[in-house]
């Protein structure tokens, strides 16, 4: 989606703020002993209280309001009876539709006590995302985002999952442009246009460069079970730089 007017921007800001608040509340509620379904129920209640609908439910008939993955799973986890334990690495992905517009955000959380290695992975997952965000400028190439993220990962000894990518968002959950690599793809010649709405969401890992789908048809896990984190914002490319819509 490319924004045409201020009304569209206002509506994208509204849904972006809502998913950001929901993610922050779910992260704050995380504690050992609760189930992922109980955590999902918190997210559902917050979205529905504002008149929003879960985007994965609406778009893909996903069996939950949000995606909650317990490590080594790293994406598209189905909320259920899994009990969260101390030391778990949890990914929460929140996306919603409000007034015809979609917002998408996500983050990984380590449940204390945790190791210094996992704390560093979470910190650097956020840094990798922001390295990509800082590369956004109208007229620049989309692959500069992946170039910046990959450079960060290489400098700090991480790998990037290469079968999960960022994407356009706005009028639908997965809008044009489709599949924006979070690694450098030199053959990608697409240009960032002013007003373009999309996500940036690298999956930074302690060795994984691929994930596989489990038998439930949704959950994604590195075959080597390597710890992997994801951080995601929705943003708009403006002449003044990237405008992040999903800050709490």
Q: What is the CA radius of gyration of the chain?
A: 17
Q: Domains, the chain, ranges and CATH? A: 6-242 (3.90.230.10)
Give the tens place of pLDDT for each residue, 47-71.
999 999 999 999 999 999 999 999 9
Alpha carbons 142 and 191: distance in angstroms, whole number: 6
Which ranges constitute the DSSP H helices of the chain? 6-29, 36-49, 55-60, 116-134, 143-155
**Residue 201 annotated in ligand binding:** yes
Give the tens place of pLDDT for each residue, 77-135.
999 999 999 999 999 999 999 999 999 999 999 999 999 999 999 999 999 999 999 99
CA distances from 195 to 5, 17, 163, 235 (A): 9, 18, 27, 9
**Residue 76 annotated in ligand binding:** yes
**Residue 175 annotated in ligand binding:** no
The set of residues, in sequence order, having a beta carbon less than 8 Å from that of 150 and lying 6+ positions away, is 160, 182, 183, 184
Sign of dihedral through CA atoms 8, 165, 84, 119? negative
**Residue 93 annotated in ligand binding:** yes
**Residue 174 annotated in ligand binding:** yes
**Residue 167 annotated in ligand binding:** yes
Alpha carbons 29 and 42: distance in angstroms, whole number: 8
Give the tens place of pLDDT for each residue, 197-206.
999 999 999 9
Give the tens place of pLDDT for each residue, 179-234.
999 999 999 999 999 999 999 999 999 999 999 999 999 999 999 999 999 999 99
pLDDT, residue 248, reads 81
pTM to 2 decimal places: 0.96
**Residue 184 annotated in ligand binding:** no
Residue 7: count other Cβ atoms within 10 Å of its Cβ: 9
């Amino acid at each position: 989606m490319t924004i045409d007017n201020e009304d569209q921007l206002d509506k994208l800001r509204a849904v972006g703020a809502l998913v950001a608040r929901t993610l922050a509340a779910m992260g704050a509620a995380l504690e050992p002993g609760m189930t992922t379904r109980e955590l999902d129920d918190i997210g559902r209640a917050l979205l529905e209280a504002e008149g929003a609908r879960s985007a994965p439910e609406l778009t893909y008939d996903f069996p939950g309001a949000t995606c909650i993955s317990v490590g080594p799973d790293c994406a598209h986890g189905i909320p259920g009876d899994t009990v969260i334990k101390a030391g778990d690495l949890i990914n929460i992905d929140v996306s919603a539709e409000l007034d015809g517009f979609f917002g998408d955000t996500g983050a990984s959380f380590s449940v204390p006590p945790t190791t210094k290695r996992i704390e560093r992975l979470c910190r650097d997952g956020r840094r990798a995302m922001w390295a990509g965000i800082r590369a956004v400028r109208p007229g620049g190439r989309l692959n500069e985002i992946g170039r910046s993220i990959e450079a960060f990962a290489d400098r700090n000894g991480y790998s990037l999952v290469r079968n999960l990518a960022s994407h356009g968002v706005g009028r639908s959950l997965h809008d044009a442009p489709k599949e924006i690599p979070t690694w450098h793809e030199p053959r990608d010649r697409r240009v960032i246009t002013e007003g373009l709405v999309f996500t940036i969401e690298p999956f930074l890992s302690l060795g994984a460069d691929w994930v596989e789908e489990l038998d439930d048809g949704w959950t994604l896990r590195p075959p080597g079970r390597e710890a992997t984190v994801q951080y995601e914002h929705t943003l708009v490319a403006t002449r003044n730089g990237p405008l992040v819509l999903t800050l709490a």
